[in-house]
């Protein structure tokens, strides 16, 4: 038996992996060498500003729309930002500063125009680990806990910046669809649990609620108190407004429901509840008065950190959660804009978010990321460019500087109702140290195999002439020949390859009928089915039909467990005797209007 020295064992095991990582970082550093001087960068920035100014001057309608969309984004973000701040056990100003800085930074340097960023609920859910009086740093004063938070936010920004510079954002393509679903459902659960303070009151009348919350001196409201039931009623009213107001004709899509809920809550509190009923509901001003003003520049005190373990783990959580939600947001925005998400866009988003969180750390912001609901709302309002999201950040600061007294009037119950309608979440998983090494090993092996399998997915295209059935006015079926584009896939379609799969297709320039040949490809997991559904939806929205053929039994079984798919064999007419494999054909989901009319379905046969 060969006796290897410890040095040989190191080189053949962990040392080999370390050397590979070092070589990869060196290659990235070599490829990222700056080829432009600072003068050239400044000149390019000035040209960009000049070109943007000329564009908006020539298109004043677009300029007006972008400004209005930015104002709508601000009105949508401010109530939620305040609610997220309370969930994170912070002053609302900490959240508003983060929304302002991130909104402007991500709008200027982010990957996809019209993306809205700010103090997100996903990030707010991990912050109480540091700020809460029952968290890991409960033995410190609240001011000391805040200093630890700003250090963590700054470190998270640095990690995000490095993540983008080293082009590691492509690793997020390996996140399966099921993880996306768990991400959203988990955060919804944690947000629900974080709102219990709405039904609590201070034990001592001489202290305001914010001071009692920091000190942990809270108690539940009395069930027999009318204030309790008025609070519950206002929460339910806010939830109803958030659900039904967007469906209101003419004005439902013009005014953010969060603004309507806040306005109705203020009107009820100061026009009905206090003067007529004589009961006071807790408002933002009662919880913690807002002293609006410019944020102070304050470099985090790294030397005063007393527990680096908590700070670093929180920073890593903020980085991972923030990038996860941001890249989900980018995918959602490009889907709405009928575009494709590129690796370059995800890299720019990581860099922009890193810069924004570093600014939050030095200007007393709670940190954050891009926000799915706000970004989707911004695009649906008609925003297409960076100006809208940039003005959202600017308007946020203007409200903080000049209208903080109005924000203080909003009842906290309204914010709870708004949060109960928010759908984006994150849940943390704790594991015991005894199983840590086993879990890490399994995860590492899955990542390596998944990444290698994902990189092996390839395709090539071709053209075929296929017969297509069309209905005549006298109910006769006519067979016409039409040219179709065929995508031949080879490899495994799974969670790590769906990003490459989405980039294969040219929806805009493809013909009316597109065929996906799966003879050398197989669906492996649910992420593959979700990606296939997404691509077929893009073709459907473009008025085109995507048909898959040569599916194996495993892929067919996975699609059969998904809803909304139509087998071509079920709608084939009697004259389609040329079909040789109609049982293997699946067509994209057809909505109710189209499914009632066979003329919208691809009824021809494919060889």
Q: Give the range among 440-449, 486-495, 576-585 with minimum mean pLDDT.
A: 576-585
Higher pLDDT, 366 or 257: 366
Nearest-Å Rg of the Cα atoms of the chain is 28
For residue 506, is it within any domain? yes
Do residues 447 and 414 share a domain? Answer: no
Q: Report pLDDT for 318.
A: 92
Structure tokens at 72: 């709508």
Nearest to 258 by CA among 397, 73, 94, 402: 73
Q: Report pLDDT for 30.
A: 53
For residue 412, is it within any domain? yes
In the chain, how many H helices and how many E strands? 25, 10
pLDDT per position as a tens digit, 5-20:
555 554 554 455 555 5
* Boundary-marking domain end, from 368, 385, 420: 420
SS3 409: coil
For residue 10, is it within any domain? no
Exposure b/e, 336-350, CB count within 10 A at least 16 = b: eeeebbeeebbbbbb
Q: Give the range among 40-44, 188-192, 193-197, 304-308 with minimum mean pLDDT.
A: 40-44
Q: Report pLDDT for 75.
A: 72
For residue 33, is it within any domain? no
Do residues 256 and 203 share a domain? Answer: yes
Q: Report pLDDT for 607.
A: 31
Neighbouring CB atoms inside 10 A of 393's CB total 27
pLDDT band at 574 (very low <50, low <70, confident <90, very high): very low
Nearest to 285 by CA among 87, 90, 92: 92
Do residues 301 and 386 share a domain? Answer: yes
- H or E element at residue 49: helix 38-58
Do residues 462 and 372 share a domain? Answer: no
SS3 37: coil
Nearest to 177 by CA among 530, 588, 536: 530
Compute the average pLDDT of residues 500-522: 84
Q: Distance between CA 13 and CA 288 in Å, rounded? A: 56
Do residues 369 and 481 share a domain? Answer: no
SS3 545: strand
* Boundary-marking domain end, from 420, 453, 484: 420
Compute the average pLDDT of residues 231-244: 88
Q: Give the range among 101-105, 376-380, 478-482 with minimum mean pLDDT.
A: 478-482
Compute the average pLDDT of residues 292-315: 87
Do residues 453 and 397 share a domain? Answer: no
Q: What is the 3-state secondary structure (H, E, C) of 321-335?
A: HHHHHHHHHHHHHHH
pLDDT per position as a tens digit, 474-504:
555 556 777 888 898 888 887 777 777 877 8
SS3 139: coil
Give the phi and the psi of residue 519 in degrees, each rounded to 5.
Answer: -60, -35
For residue 48, is it within any domain? no
CB-based burial of residue 6 (10 Å sphere; 0-12 exposed, 13-18 middle, 19+ buried)? exposed
Higher pLDDT, 205 or 451: 205
CATH number reported for the structural domain that contains residue 487 in this entry: 3.30.750.24
Q: Report pLDDT for 528.
A: 81
Q: Report pLDDT for 150.
A: 94
For residue 41, is it within any domain? no
pLDDT band at 508 (very low <50, low <70, confident <90, very high): confident
pLDDT per position as a tens digit, 347-367:
899 999 999 999 999 998 999
pLDDT band at 292 (very low <50, low <70, confident <90, very high): low
Do residues 103 and 169 share a domain? Answer: yes
For residue 263, is it within any domain? yes
Q: Give the range among 54-63, 141-150, 448-457, 506-515 with minimum mean pLDDT.
A: 448-457
Give the phi and the psi of residue 522 in degrees, each rounded to 5.
Answer: -140, 140
Do residues 194 and 249 share a domain? Answer: yes
Do residues 450 and 416 share a domain? Answer: no
pLDDT band at 445 (very low <50, low <70, confident <90, very high): very low
pLDDT band at 68 (very low <50, low <70, confident <90, very high): confident
Which segments of 68-108 are extended strands (E)? none
Do residues 414 and 460 share a domain? Answer: no
Share of the chain above pLDDT 90, in %: 14
Q: Scanning the structure block, which residue is given the tokens 């009662």?
A: 286
Compute the average pLDDT of residues 574-601: 36
Do residues 510 and 541 share a domain? Answer: yes
CB-based burial of residue 299 (10 Å sphere; 0-12 exposed, 13-18 middle, 19+ buried)? exposed
SS3 465: strand
- DSSP string across 233-268: HHHHHHHHHHHHGGGSTTTTTTS-HHHHHHHHHHHH
Q: Report pLDDT for 42.
A: 59
**What one-character DSSP code corresponds to residue 5?**
-
Q: Report pLDDT for 152.
A: 94
Q: Would you say 102 and 374 are in contact if contact means Cβ atoms under 8 Å apart?
A: no
Q: Distance between CA 587 and CA 565 in Å, rounded? A: 6
Q: Report pLDDT for 97.
A: 93
pLDDT for residue 377 is more than 80: no
Do residues 247 and 391 share a domain? Answer: yes
Higher pLDDT, 438 or 38: 38
Domain span at residue 532 reads 443-600
Domain count, the chain: 2
Q: Report pLDDT for 525.
A: 76
Neighbouring CB atoms inside 10 A of 525's CB total 18
CA dihedral 226, 230, 233, 234 (to 10 degrees): -170
pLDDT for residue 461 is more than 90: no
For residue 581, is it within any domain? yes
């Amino acid at each position: 038996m060969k006796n290897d020295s410890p040095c040989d064992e190191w080189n053949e095991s962990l040392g080999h992996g370390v050397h590979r990582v070092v070589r990869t970082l060196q290659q990235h550093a070599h490829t990222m060498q700056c080829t432009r001087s600072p003068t050239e960068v400044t000149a390019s920035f000035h040209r960009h500003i000049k070109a943007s100014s000329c564009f908006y001057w020539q298109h004043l309608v677009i300029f007006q729309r972008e400004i209005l969309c930015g104002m709508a984004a601000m009105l949508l973000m401010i109530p939620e930002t305040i609610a997220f701040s309370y969930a994170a056990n912070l002053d609302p100003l900490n959240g508003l500063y983060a929304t302002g800085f991130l909104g402007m930074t991500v709008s200027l340097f982010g990957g996809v125009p019209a993306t809205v960023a700010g103090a997100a609920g996903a990030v707010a859910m991990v912050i109480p680990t540091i700020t809460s009086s029952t968290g890991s740093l409960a033995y410190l004063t609240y001011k000391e806990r805040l200093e630890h938070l700003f250090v963590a936010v700054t470190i998270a920004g640095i990690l995000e910046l490095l993540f983008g510079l080293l082009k590691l954002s492509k690793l997020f393509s390996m996140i399966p669809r099921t993880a996306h679903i768990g991400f959203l459902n988990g955060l919804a659960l944690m947000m629900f649990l974080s709102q219990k303070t709405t039904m609590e009151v201070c034990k001592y009348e001489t202290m305001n609620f914010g001071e009692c919350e920091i000190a942990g001196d809270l108690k539940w409201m009395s069930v027999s108190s009318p204030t309790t039931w008025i609070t519950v009623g206002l929460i339910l009213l806010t939830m109803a407004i958030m659900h039904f107001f967007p469906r209101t004709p003419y004005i439902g899509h013009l005014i953010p429901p969060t603004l309507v809920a806040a306005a109705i809550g203020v009107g009820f509190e100061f026009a009905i509840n206090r003067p007529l009923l004589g009961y006071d509901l807790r408002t933002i001003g009662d919880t913690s008065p807002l002293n609006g003003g410019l944020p102070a520049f304050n470099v985090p005190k790294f030397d005063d950190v007393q527990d680096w373990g908590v700070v670093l783990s929180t920073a890593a959580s903020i980085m991972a959660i923030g990038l996860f939600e941001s890249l989900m947001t980018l995918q959602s925005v490009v889907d709405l804009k009928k575009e494709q998400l590129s690796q370059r866009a995800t890299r720019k988003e990581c860099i922009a978010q890193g810069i924004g969180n570093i600014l939050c750390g030095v200007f007393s912001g709670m940190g954050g990321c891009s926000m799915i609901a706000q970004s989707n709302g911004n695009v649906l309002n008609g925003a297409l460019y960076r100006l809208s999201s940039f003005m959202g950040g600017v308007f946020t600061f203007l409200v903080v500087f000049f209208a903080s007294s109005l924000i203080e009037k909003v009842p906290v119950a309204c914010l709870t109702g708004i949060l109960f309608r928010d759908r984006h979440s994150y849940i943390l998983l704790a594991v015991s140290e005894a199983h840590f090494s086993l879990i890490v090993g399994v995860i590492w092996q899955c990542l390596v195999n998944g990444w290698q399998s994902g990189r092996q997915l390839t395709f090539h295209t071709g053209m075929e002439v296929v017969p297509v059935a069309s209905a005549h006015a006298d109910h006769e079926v006519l067979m016409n020949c039409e040219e179709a584009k065929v995508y031949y896939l080879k490899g495994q379609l799974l969670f790590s390859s769906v990003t490459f799969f989405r980039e294969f297709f040219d929806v805009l320039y493809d013909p009316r009928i597109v065929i996906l040949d799966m003879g050398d490809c197989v669906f492996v997991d649910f992420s593959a089915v979700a990606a296939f559904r997404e691509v077929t939806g893009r073709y459907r929205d473009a008025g085109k039909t995507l048909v898959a053929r040569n599916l194996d039994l495993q892929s067919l079984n996975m699609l059969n467990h998904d809803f909304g798919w139509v087998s071509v064999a079920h709608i084939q007419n009697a004259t389609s005797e040329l079909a040789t494999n109609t049982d293997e054909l699946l067509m994209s989901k057809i909505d109710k209007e189209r499914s009632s009319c066979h003329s919208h379905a691809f009824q021809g046969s494919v060889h």
